[in-house]
Structure 1
Amino acid sequence: MLAWFVMTKIDLSPNRLLHVRNDLGLFNIINLTDCYDIVKPFFNFVCNNKSFNYRQLSIQSDQHICYQLYSKTKKLNLFSRIHNDLEPFKNRKILLKDIENISNSCVSCHHIQIIQNKLYIVPRSTASNYETRSRSIKLLIKHMMDTFSDIPDLDLFFDVGDVVELPKGFNDVLFNVPIFAFTKSNTKKIGLRPDAIVLMPCFTLWGWPEARAGRWSKVFQSILNASRQIDYEKRIPKLFWRGGDMWKRTWYINTAKQYRNTTDIAAMNWVRTIVDVSLSVSNTYATLEQHCNYKHLLHLEGNTYSSRLKYLLLCGSSVVYDPVERWEEYWYHLLKNGKNVIFVERINNEIAFNKTFQFLQNHENVTKEIGKQGQQLVQNYLNEHAVSCYWRNLLHEYTKLFEYKPTLHPNAIYIDDFILSNIP
């Protein structure tokens, strides 16, 4: 069953089309928060009033609602990354021996199965369990499967590290089975070769309690609300950044001391515990919502990628991004320089850095529009519904590689039992 609808007209005719009342005209996903009487749970997107207009939404494969909302009707294609990532495997067919091979080769990987549209976890003592990342990915997949009931049987292996690191000698191997991960770089030679990796949604799209970011769906709305409290013109005209100090960021932190009138850039020292995160330099701390007080926000890579970019874009401020090593998440192909983000390559280049400031200060109308478009990008393509659609379509394309019929692992644990257990 695709969904349970309230206050809608559902046509159960053989062509399996859903006719949903919609008074919005051309559908815009960012109007979600303006709805009062809403259909649920798929996808809380139709406002109900006196209008009797209907939108026809097909749930057949090539006209699936996910494609209608996030691909065919948009100039930017959310799902093109899926095809690009799976391209190296299109002439490879996954056999049972390949599953056994990847299981032995990626000792840090987590193993999940979907059998008869039920999600199972295969416990592995060697799997990496840094923070709550692995549990968040499993819950993201469960969330998707609570909506969609058409996921084919599969075996899947994912890694939750900042870098996928296999035992010595395996990083240069293109296995028949891709490994799913958060990020990869086509320019940085570290860890598993990038064409062996398929990008999946980041764990923070479920939640990141260790960094006080909380549940994505709540912080998503909280940042949007904060952005609406202050007009762009009234925001502080400085380039703002907070984060941990590391080599990719040190130059900016030091250089900003010479630009105190136009920047507010400072490092924070994180002290992590199992249940909390404290800040040893508390006077520099700023909540994600407080970032929206600034016209311009700086985004810098971390050890590899930094998951902060989506939070910054939600503010509607113009985001300046230096992709030092070009680590990407699955949605970065939607970023367009000068449209929804400002790309710079300024590290160790103070002259170019100064030119960036001149642009920010002298083109407020342009930077305001860039901020608006960046915010809409996240609203459109990184809301929970779009994330579920990405998972659904990714798994459908992935299972086309299978030439064997997956069967339930003898140690597999059903997802509901897993959630109630203390298994990471």
Structure 2
Amino acid sequence: MNKDNETYLKLFWGGSNHHKRCLLSKNAKVTTVTTAVIVLFCLVATFCDFAALNTYIIAGVSIENQNLSSISIDKHQEQEFPLECTKGTQTCPRNYPTKHNPTNHNNHICPSYFKWIHEDLKAWREKGITREMLEGARRTANFKVVIVEGRLYLEKYKKSIQTRDVFTLWGILQLLRLYPGKLPDLELMFDCEDRPVIHLDKFQGPNASPPPLFRYCSDQWSLDIVFPDWSFWGWAETNIKPWKEVLKDIKEGNKRTKWKDRVPYAYWKGNPKVAATRKNLMKCNVTSKNDWNTRLYVQDWDKESNQGYKKSSLGNQCTHRYKIYIEGWAWSVSEKYILACDSMTLYVRPKYHDFFIRGMEPLQHYWPIRDDSKCTSLKFAVEWGNNHVDKAQSIGEAASKFIQEDLDMNNVYSYMFHLLNEYAKLLKFKPTIPQGAIEFCSETMACGVNGTQRKFMEESMVKFPSDSNPCTIPPPYDPLTLQEFLERKENSTRQVEIWEDEYWLNKSNGQ
């Protein structure tokens, strides 16, 4: 772990029941007719079990060593594959399907932010990725993932902050369970720390060979490849549940307080110690002398942990009309939780981006806030929203709809699939299992752990293959369309700043 991230970490902590069908009590007295009925019933039940068993064999799915009473069938008659924890040395089960055979062929086009996959891999599109280029990313990587014939092998280099590496690997394993045998063989390097390190200015010219490195965020001056962050499968250290469960909580929280009945101020709760920009934000809090239309609270995760996380439920934080998003050490995990809240997000101008935010637009999904004059910018945003409640509400709800629909776990997995699939096409070498590499599967990761980590793994575990294919990735942006899209976003931000300047000019003139 580098010194930057050591500093960050210090700042951060400031059995089912079985029913026997044909058991007759030895003491029971039954008539010949009753006995005949019971025997007939048992024969029918046995035939049904035999037919069900053969259904799985015909489908090519082995249920060897499976307890029939534990198999759960849904409307597509899919067999569930729960964790198979064994005593002693844990091994990876061999009964999970190795091929993806969907029966639902109604496919759809992925959300527009998937187009950025093409942009993120553009640096390697012409020359491809050699093994030498891949090994060049080892310098800062936490681990290397190797996928061969649908199985994952790990070469670990160093521990990450908290359990980021654990849940990132867990997420990739769930992708393999969702679409078994569908991903091509590949090798990749992953850096779990915050800030991008593959700087564009160091890889210019025709002979440039940038190392491909995956991480959670990047910026316009870097080539790091953005990937969904670990918290989609749970953030154990802060008791934040897997994304699917969090979305349910926030959706319920949104229903509890109608938008126009919410507190008409801007809300933020977080750790101000992790970045100078957040410390600066705290100057905008309400005082006896100034009211910048904000209500800002310090989140002490160490204290919250000791008190059982009673005051950190994300579903209970959708009570204000406006919520502030501001980066921390780099991009912040809090982004998706804030945008999901129906509140109009006041988005402080960022330096970094994750994989989905590039599909969202100012004035459509959020309200841009200046970073160099936060207090005046926030005050104007809230004033504007309270004077245009219908428009402010529609911005908040458009963001929430985007997060609930375009960023559900199906789309997260589809994004992962397409990113890795497109990346694998660029490899100029045959992926091989490194000597001494360890095979990883859900069992080797989850069976040996307890507590919150185990709970979140069980909650986010994919128990059977998807009944459909991933969504269809849209084609790349053509240069003109991409330029127009970026200019539209910048023009919207500029428009807000013009309104803001006019507001404060009129204030100073006493209007």
Structure 2: distance between partners of 1:41 and 1:314 = 32
* Structure showing greater Rg: 2
| Conserved 8 A contact 1:102-1:175 | no
Among 219, 243, 249, the alignment partner of 2:278 is 249
| Conserved 8 A contact 1:268-1:279 | no
Structure 1: distance between partners of 2:163 and 2:137 = 23
Give CA deviations for 1:338-361 in whole Å, capped at 9, x if unaligned: 111111114335443332221121
Matched, 1:109 2:139: no
Amino acid at match of 1:253: M
Structure 2: distance between partners of 1:394 and 1:144 = 12
SS in 2 for 1:163: coil
Structure 1: distance between partners of 2:324 and 2:433 = 47
Instruction: Provide the residue aligned with 1:13 in structure 2.
Output: none
Give CA deviations for 1:26-46 in whole Å, capped at 9, x if unaligned: xxxxxxxxxxx865879xxxx
TM-score, normalised by the number of residues in structure 1 = 0.74
Note the 1:200-211 alignment, pairs <5 A: 200-211=227-238
How far 1:270 sits from its partner (Å)? 3.0
Among 212, 215, 218, the alignment partner of 1:181 is 215
Instruction: Provide the residue aligned with 1:155 in structure 2.
Output: 187
Structure 2: distance between partners of 1:209 and 1:143 = 17
Matched, 1:277 2:305: yes
Structure 1: distance between partners of 2:314 and 2:120 = 31
Residues 279, 87 of structure 1: alpha-carbon distance in 2 compared, 3 angstrom cutoff: farther
Structure 2: distance between partners of 1:286 and 1:160 = 24
Instruction: Provide the residue aligned with 2:325 in structure 1.
Output: 299
Instruction: Provide the residue aligned with 1:239 in structure 2.
Output: 266
Among 163, 172, 176, the alignment partner of 2:202 is 172
Residues 205, 349 of structure 1: alpha-carbon distance in 2 compared, 3 angstrom cutoff: closer
Note the 1:194-343 alignment, pairs <5 A: 194-195=222-223, 197-245=224-272, 246-258=275-287, 260=291, 262-271=293-302, 277-278=305-306, 285-324=311-350, 326-343=351-368
Structure 1: distance between partners of 2:77 and 2:251 = 22
Give CA deviations for 1:62-102 in whole Å, capped at 9, x if unaligned: xxx3xx1524xxxxx13111001001111122233333443
Query: How many residues were matched structurally?
Result: 343
Give CA deviations for 1:119-160 in whole Å, capped at 9, x if unaligned: 221233xx2321110111111111111111310000011110
| Conserved 8 A contact 2:227-2:355 | yes
Instruction: Provide the residue aligned with 1:25 in structure 2.
Output: none
- Alignment RMSD: 3.0
Identity %: 20
Structure 2: distance between partners of 1:256 and 1:364 = 23
| Greater share of strand | 1
Amino acid at match of 1:136: F
Structure 2: distance between partners of 1:230 and 1:86 = 43
Structure 1: distance between partners of 2:300 and 2:384 = 31
Residues 308, 40 of structure 1: alpha-carbon distance in 2 compared, 3 angstrom cutoff: farther
Residues 84, 38 of structure 1: alpha-carbon distance in 2 compared, 3 angstrom cutoff: farther
How far 1:279 sits from its partner (Å)? 7.3
Give CA deviations for 1:177-218 in whole Å, capped at 9, x if unaligned: 41001011226xxxxxx12x1100011111111122122221
Amino acid at match of 2:305: V
Instruction: Provide the residue aligned with 2:174 in structure 1.
Output: 143
Amino acid at match of 1:95: T
Instruction: Provide the residue aligned with 2:456 in structure 1.
Output: none
Structure 2: distance between partners of 1:365 and 1:83 = 37
- Structure scoring higher RCO (CA < 8 A, sep ≥ 6) equals 2
Instruction: Provide the residue aligned with 2:134 in structure 1.
Output: 99
| Greater share of helix | 2
TM-score, normalised by the number of residues in structure 2 = 0.62
Q: Where does the alignment leave 5 or more consecutive residues of structure 2 unmatched?
A: 1-73, 80-102, 454-511
Amino acid at match of 2:325: H
Residues 38, 332 of structure 1: alpha-carbon distance in 2 compared, 3 angstrom cutoff: farther
Structure 1: distance between partners of 2:174 and 2:268 = 33
| Conserved 8 A contact 2:253-2:317 | no
| Conserved 8 A contact 1:165-1:171 | no
Instruction: Provide the residue aligned with 2:416 in structure 1.
Output: 391
SS in 1 for 2:422: helix
Q: Where does the alignment leave 5 or more consecutive residues of structure 1 unmatched?
A: 1-36, 43-55, 60-64, 72-76, 188-193
Structure 2: distance between partners of 1:261 and 1:322 = 15
